[in-house]
Amino acid sequence: MAKWTANDIPDLGGRAAVVTGANSGLGYETALALARHGANVVMACRDEGRGTEAVERLRAEAPDASVELSLLDLADLTSVRKFAESYAGERDHLDILVNNAGVMALAERRQTADGFEMQFGTNHLGHYALTGLLLPQLQARPGSRVVSVTSFGHKVGRMNFDDLQWERSYRKWLAYGRSKLANILFTFELDRRARAGGSAVVAAVAHPGYANTNLQSGTSFQWSNFMAQSAAEGALPQLYAATAPDVQGGEFFGPSGFMEQRGAPKRVKAAKKGYDAASASRLWELSEQLTGVTYSFG
C-alpha cells in the first residue's frame, strides 16, 4: 500500500455508507472522500444546524455527491434506535459503516441520557448499539465493512471492570483511553463473533495519528503544529480500512510516519491488551446488557 492516498479509493458506485460524526474533522473528510468515489453517504450527526451546514459544504466541494443528513446522538440510545429504524425504513443494505464520532478528555465526569460515562457511552456503547441495530442491513451485503476509529491513546487505556464507568474516581485521559481501547476490543470481538456466526461482515479498526480537528483544539494536549497533519490526511487510515480491496476482518490501520502520528496508512499493531480475547468477550457481554442490543449473525 505504498503511499496510498484518497485517489486510490475504488469506485463505490451503488454502495451505501454511514459515517458518524460526519459534520467535522475526520468524519467530514471521510464522508467527502466516499461520496467523491460514488458512494451514497448518510452523514450521521447529532446537531441539525452543524449537520446541515456540513452537507451544504460537502455538496459545494463535490457537486455530484449523493449525501444526506440523518440525526444521530450516540449519547442517547433512543436516538440511536430512531436512527437505525429510519435507516431500515429507507434502505435494505449498508456497505460501509464508519464508527468515527468521538469525544475526548472531558474535564468533568458527565453522563449520557442513559446514565453512562460520556466517553465510554458515546465512543463505545453508542457505536456498539448502532452497529448491532444496523447488522441486518450490513449482512445484506457480503463483505460489508464496519470500521471503528480508535486512537494511539488506547495505549493508556485499561479495562477496569470493577469501575468501568468511572463512578469511584474520574481521570479524563484514562477515560478517553479506556473508550478507545474498547473500540479495538469491540472490533476484534466483532470479527471473531461474525466469523463464528457465519457472517461475512468485515470489522476493521483505524487510528488517524495526530490530525488538526475540533477534537484537538478543545484540549490542553497539543503536539507542536509541525507534527499535526490535516484532517484529510488523518482520515486516510479509516478510508483505507473502509474501501481497500485487500482489507481482512480484524486488521488495524494507522499512519506510517514517525510514531504513527502522520503519513500514509499501513497495517499497525495495537497494545497487547487490545488482543485480550477474555476482556473483549466480557466487554461485549456487558455492552449487550447495558444497551439491550443483541447481535444476530448469519
Ligand X SMILES: NC(=O)c1ccc[n+]([C@@H]2O[C@H](COP(=O)([O-])OP(=O)(O)OC[C@H]3O[C@@H](n4cnc5c(N)ncnc54)[C@H](OP(=O)(O)O)[C@@H]3O)[C@@H](O)[C@H]2O)c1
Q: Which of 28, 87, 128, 176 is catalytic?
A: 176
Among 87, 128, 166, 210, binds ligand X (CB under 6 A): 210
Residue nearer to ligand X on the CB measure, 143 or 158: 158
DSSP single-letter state for residue 244? -
Under rule CB under 6 A, residue 32 binds ligand X? no
Residue 186: which H helix or E strand, with range?
Answer: helix 172-196
Under rule CB under 6 A, residue 102 binds ligand X? yes
Residue nearer to ligand X on the CB measure, 102 or 265: 102
Residue 242: which H helix or E strand, with range?
Answer: helix 236-243
DSSP string, 150-168: --GGGGG----TTSTT-SS
Under rule CB under 6 A, residue 131 binds ligand X? no
Compute CA 60 distance to the chain's CA centroid, rounded to the nearest angstrom. 25
- Using the contact rule CB under 6 A, the part of the chain among 4-12, 15-23, 82-90, 193-201 near ligand X is 15-23
Determine the size of the site formed for ligand X (CB under 6 A): 31
Distance in Å, CB of 46 to ligand X, minimum? 4
Question: Is beta strand 96-99 parallel, antiparallel or unpaired with respect to 145-149?
Answer: parallel
Best CA proximity match to 256, nearest among 279, 240, 277, 244? 240
Under rule CB under 6 A, residue 213 binds ligand X? yes
Residue nearer to ligand X on the CB measure, 74 or 138: 74
Distance in Å, CB of 125 to ligand X, minimum? 11
Give how far Cα 294 sits from Cα of 116, 286, 297, Å.
18, 11, 10
| Residue type at position 80 | V
> Cα separation of 148 and 207, whole Å?
9
Residues 61-90 contacting ligand X, CB under 6 A:
72-75
Under rule CB under 6 A, residue 122 binds ligand X? yes
> Cα separation of 56 and 68, whole Å?
10
Under rule CB under 6 A, residue 211 binds ligand X? yes
Under rule CB under 6 A, residue 47 binds ligand X? yes
Among 36, 37, 46, 178, binds ligand X (CB under 6 A): 46
Under rule CB under 6 A, residue 50 binds ligand X? yes
Q: Are 255 and 240 in contact (CB under 8 A)?
A: no
For cell 492516498, name the residue: 5
Clarify whether 275 is annotated catalytic: no
Among 58, 103, 204, 244, binds ligand X (CB under 6 A): 103
Q: How far apart are the first and last CA of the chain?
A: 31
Q: Exposed, middle or buried, 298 (CB in 10 Å: 0-12/13-18/19+)?
A: exposed
Task: State the residues that interact with ligand X by CB under 6 A.
Answer: 20-21, 23-27, 46-47, 50, 72-75, 100-104, 122, 149, 151, 207-208, 210-211, 213-216, 234
Which residues have a catalytic role annotated? 176
